[in-house]
Amino acid sequence: MQKLSLLWLLLTVQVLAGCESLMYPGQNRPDQPAEVMPPVESQDVTMQCPEPAEVICAQPEVKVVERVIERRVEKVVEVPVAKDKLVLGSVEEVAVEPPGLVVESIVDTGSPTSTLRVKKLTPFERDGSDWIRFQLVQSRKAEPVSVELPIKRYVRIERLGFDSQRRPVVELNLTVGHVTHLVEVNLADEGGTDLLMLLGRNFLKDAAVVDVSRRNVQGQPQIAGGK
């Protein structure tokens, strides 16, 4: 009886041992101390972050472009255009020789020749040449002055709204200011008007400049010889 009990005990122990091996295959049983792994020598492989470096960004290249804007400016230059020339207004006093009278004249830059308004034009012949006799009236109260001169030529004058006229041309000495020129003057039979003369370009050329905003700039003519 005791042998059977002992045998049963052994079987029980074997069975229990087999169960433990199934429960912890390749591992230590709970009652066994865990296998301690030998310490691994640590390598000084600590990864150190690089110290921050100061980064200086390059300045962008700046191209300076000079912009030049050309402006055309009218440069006003004062030119002494009246140097050695008369400055005349729109109306000037002119000495006419002969007969030596002073009359008011319109300064007419549009007329190629000068014109004198007279009365009683009478052509005649003297020594085989053509002459002209006329009367010049300085003012309505003055007595007319008779003048006789040789005819240089004739011109035909065309005027808008009027019939064309054939006028005799004579030579007269005209004085404005201190300047005297011998010029051709055509005679118009239109006496009695307020202004007896038109001073044309044949007197003005190379001698005078005209300021139409003024009148009587030169004043009384300075006739040579004290007249």
Rounded to whole angstroms, the Cα distance separating 85 from 129 reads: 37
Tell me which range, 5-9, 32-36, 95-99, is most confidently predicted by mean pLDDT. 95-99
- Residue 70 CA: distances (Å) to CA of 32, 67, 73, 77, 84: 104, 10, 9, 20, 38
**CATH no., domain 86-119+153-210:** 2.40.70.10
- Kindly state the DSSP code that residue 47 receives in the 8-state scheme: -
Answer whether 0.85 is exceeded by the pTM: no
Q: How far apart are CA 59 and CA 148, in angstroms?
A: 99
pLDDT one-digit tens code per residue, 142-200: 788 999 999 999 999 887 777 888 999 999 999 999 899 999 999 998 755 567 899 99
CA geometry: angle 227, 180, 205, nearest 5 deg: 155
Polymer length of the chain: 227
